[in-house]
Amino acid sequence: MIEVRDLSKRYGDKLAVDHLSFSVEPGRVTGFLGPNGAGKSTTMRLILGLDRPNSGTATIGGRPYRELSQPLRVVGALLEARAVHSGRSAFNHLLVLAQTQSLPRRRVDEVIDLIGLREVAGQRAGGFSLGMGQRLGIAAALLGDPKVLVLDEPVNGLDPEGIHWIRNLLKRLAGEGRTVFVSSHLMNEMAVTADHLIVIGRGQLIADCPTEEFIARSSEKSVRVKGPDRDRLEQLITAEGGRVTADEDGALTVADLEAPRIGELAAGAGLVLHELTPQLASLEEAFMELTRASVEYGAQAHDTAATDAMPVPLEAGPR
Ligand code: ADP
């Protein structure tokens, strides 16, 4: 279990992590979600004792990382993708890491098989693609058979097969009772990977709830309605409390009124409908909406809620 209490981290006048509190429970995959610049990496670095907070605490199994006597056997971590500048083979890269932790050579073999690196184990790690490098990083994180995993954007740079593989691995590790804490800036990715979500924006907590609940809450409903007498349709819907926007193709998009009620109103008034379609906002759109005020806009934006500015596209990779 990871516990973060009132954690803050300031870089100059920038509050990267802003009084954040949450717990990461064992036995499930917890997604750490937020747009680029939200403070995910900083929070993970604080949990791993790589940086000191300005206030608050982060503990793993009740103790700060720095106080763990054999930290790599307790926590495995993958931080933001970095090329491995190693002339060593993948096997030897892992062997050196294992030796520094007094882990047997046998464990390197186990992890190589677990991560599916057997075929490339003899190749120079420095020549690996980003995707292979990610796998090697995950292999390194698992060497000490840790109960807690902290992975920063692990699917970054992976092809669809690699993403699928990681997703299954994370679920399996959580199924074994481990604490799995994994960050991403991609809502759709987390929706299918995580059981529980911690969502942050501008260093602050936005949501801490089961993924299903977050999806239900975020999926804003609207209805598309089309008919020959658009003006009367609009009057009827507005009079009943619906919010209407006119689409370019002559249809209306209605919020705050459900499709059956719109159908009844039209029938009651004898109006013909050509279309009546309930719509769900895409999860990615809903997420952008939710985090809009808290997205990192660059230099000008660190302390004003610039709700009118466009968020950074979520598809963009981490800096
Ligand atoms: P995320 O991982 O969610 O993309 P980060 O934790 O990397 O976000 O960054 C949060 C904010 O803190 C950003 O504005 C980033 O520029 C800033 N930041 C992160 N690390 C440093 C640092 N070492 N020095 C100065 N600013 C930093």
Pair (64, 126) in one structural domain:
yes
Q: Is 34 in the pocket of ligand 1 (CB under 6 A)?
A: yes
Other Cβ atoms less than 10 A from the Cβ of 3: the count is 17
Pick from 246, 275, 280: nearest CA to 262: 275
Q: Supply the pLDDT for residue 289.
A: 74
Pair (145, 192) in one structural domain:
yes
The 10s digit of each residue's pLDDT in 108-120 is 999 999 888 888 8
Pair (263, 310) in one structural domain:
no
Distance from residue 90's CA to the centre of ligand 1 (Å): 30
Distance from residue 162's CA to the centre of ligand 1 (Å): 27
The 10s digit of each residue's pLDDT in 230-265 is 999 999 999 999 999 998 899 999 988 999 999 999
Alpha-carbon gap, residue 178 to 41, rounded angstroms: 21
Pair (38, 10) in one structural domain:
yes
Give the domain extent around 231: 222-279
- Report which protein residue has its CA nearest ligand 1's atom 20: 42
Pair (260, 288) in one structural domain:
no
The 10s digit of each residue's pLDDT in 149-207 is 999 999 887 888 888 989 999 999 999 999 999 999 988 889 899 999 999 999 999 99
Give the domain CATH number at 233.
3.30.70.100
Pair (56, 132) in one structural domain:
yes
Pair (67, 112) in one structural domain:
yes
Q: Structurally, how many domains does the chain consist of?
A: 2
Give the domain CATH number at 129.
3.40.50.300
Pair (266, 291) in one structural domain:
no
Q: Is 295 in the pocket of ligand 1 (CB under 6 A)?
A: no
Pick from 156, 122, 151, 153: nearest CA to 139: 151
